[in-house]
Structure 1
Amino acid sequence: MAELLKVSSLSKNFGGLAAVSGINMSINEGELIGLIGPNGAGKTTLFNLLTGVYTPSEGLIELETTQGKKQIGGLAPYKITELGLARTFQNIRLFKSMSVLDNVKTAMQKNVGYGVPSALLRTAKFYNAERWVEEKAEEYLKDVGLYKKRFEAADNLPYGEQRRLEIARALATEPKILFLDEPAAGMNPQETAELTDLIDHLRKKYNLTVILIEHDMSLVMNVCERIYVLNYGKLIASGSPEEIQNNEFVISAYLGEEI
């Protein structure tokens, strides 16, 4: 598999605090990668660096594009999204008063292909593009099992379905890499099992590379091919699920034991 994303000596400092320090990662096209670690280990900070929310203090984030490798560290989030990186958030961020369908459509405006004059004059180009957007948005909602609720307000969805809506909205940006920040948070075992199947389905259908932060170890060990482990902002281990389960440094980090 070809390398899609490379992280080299990546660090982020807040004042005198190093939130992440010297991170090196290599993500191959089509992989499903887990990012785990105790609370406060720096996982979400790393996601924020990779998706443009934070600017790195040091290091490189290189994305393979059609024009070759591109250094994306420090780019604005919308520019990183245009390059094919999308994410969900640990705390759900939906337009709660808008419909489920409109939440997904908002993520597709970069692809509509018409300008202000066409929108104001309601040209054929405008109507054709809007029809395409609606059909594609409905397809994403079918993928996540929310098509029948497409006209409901997002705020009326149960918690687990709001998580699914966030994933559908991320898909609507047509990503190459999908970052999922604790997608199973707050879910019961049945919902988590359904989410596991959903991630696998979406990955195959859309040829996605998936990187997820998750505290549910059963989900991580069942779906991830490789796992990176952070502790106190530093990478302490990487490998297959079996290798991580038996790694003494990982066991120490989770159990708080000295080795």
Structure 2
Amino acid sequence: MTTILDVHKLTRNFGGLAAVTDVEMHLERGELIGLIGPNGAGKTTVFNLLTGVYPPSSGTIGFTPDTKEIQLGGKKPYMISHAGMARTFQNIRLFKELTVLDNVVFAMEQREKYSLLSSFFHLPSWGKSKQKVRERSLELLRMMNLETKAEELARNLSYGDQRHLEIARALATDPKLLLLDEPAAGMNPAETAQLTELIEFIRKTYNLTILLIEHDMSLVMKICERIYVLDHGIVIASGTPDEVRNNPKVIEAYLGEEVEDV
């Protein structure tokens, strides 16, 4: 395997407050990695740094979607998305007044290259490309069991279906690295079990590397190959699920009595 993400001494300060400090993290191509820790540990801040929402105060983020490494520090979110990184959000962010299908089409079209001439005059090449986008979008909805709801408004979907739609929209950008921010939040056990299977399926189907923030330890311990643990913005442990669940620092800072149940 080759490294797809190499984070070195990543730090972000807000005024006099250090949100994350000297974070070291690397992901090999094809891995499914967990990022866990108590509320306020800095997990979402790490995602925001990786995706360009915040620039780092210091440190480097090396991203290798293909063969050439790209330094992401200071790049805009749209540039990072075009490079091959996509994410979902802890608080679902959909275009609620658009249809389910249009949410995916809109995301997919951001990677399409239309000539000004073909789009302005609606030439056959433009029409073929639009049709291709629609068909590929429907395929994603079919995989998420949302095809029959393609023409419904996104705001009318159930909470679980909105989560699935957000993942479909992220996949529509054709990422090499997918960041999932608490995808199981608010789900019942049956929905979480279904989501677990879905994550494993899309990883294999799309040959993705996945970085996952999640508080549901049964999900994390089941599907993650390695786990990083943040506490107060610092990585206090990393390793396999067994190594992490038995780490005294992790038990004290986060897992506590839960370790007996995961």
TM-score, normalized by length of structure 1? 0.97
Whether the aligned pair in 2 keeps the contact of 1:177 and 1:209 (CA below 8 Å) is yes
Whether the aligned pair in 2 keeps the contact of 1:6 and 1:26 (CA below 8 Å) is yes
- Structure 1's unaligned 5+ residue stretches are none
CA–CA distance in 2 between the matches of 1:10 and 1:62?
Answer: 11
Equivalent residues in 2 for 1:1-259, closer than 5 Å = 1-66=1-66, 68-254=68-254
Whether the aligned pair in 2 keeps the contact of 1:33 and 1:224 (CA below 8 Å) is yes
Whether the aligned pair in 2 keeps the contact of 1:113 and 1:129 (CA below 8 Å) is no
Whether the aligned pair in 2 keeps the contact of 1:97 and 1:153 (CA below 8 Å) is yes
**Stretch deviating more after TM superposition (82-91 or 248-257):** 248-257
Moved over 6 A (4+): none
CA–CA distance in 2 between the matches of 1:31 and 1:67?
Answer: 17
**What letter matches 1:71 in structure 2?**
Q
Alpha carbons of structure 1 residues 2 and 100: separation in structure 2 relative to 1, 3 Å: same
Q: For residue 116 of structure 1, report the CA deviation from its aligned partner.
A: 3.1
Q: For residue 110 of structure 1, report the CA deviation from its aligned partner.
A: 3.0
Q: For residue 67 of structure 1, report the CA deviation from its aligned partner.
A: 5.0
Alpha carbons of structure 1 residues 105 and 189: separation in structure 2 relative to 1, 3 Å: same
TM-score, normalized by length of structure 2? 0.96
Measured against aligned partners, the alpha-carbon deviations of 1:69-118 in whole angstroms (never above 9, x if no partner) come to: 22111100000011100000000000001000000011112333313332
- Structure 2's unaligned 5+ residue stretches are 258-262
Cα RMSD for the two superposed structures? 1.3
**What letter matches 1:210 in structure 2?**
I
Aligned sequence identity (%): 58
Whether the aligned pair in 2 keeps the contact of 1:94 and 1:103 (CA below 8 Å) is yes
Measured against aligned partners, the alpha-carbon deviations of 1:173-201 in whole angstroms (never above 9, x if no partner) come to: 00000000000000000000000000000
CA–CA distance in 2 between the matches of 1:204 and 1:127?
Answer: 31
CA–CA distance in 2 between the matches of 1:42 and 1:254?
Answer: 13
**What letter matches 1:254 in structure 2?**
Y
**What letter matches 2:111 in structure 1?**
N
Q: For residue 66 of structure 1, report the CA deviation from its aligned partner.
A: 3.9
Whether the aligned pair in 1 keeps the contact of 2:118 and 2:126 (CA below 8 Å) is yes
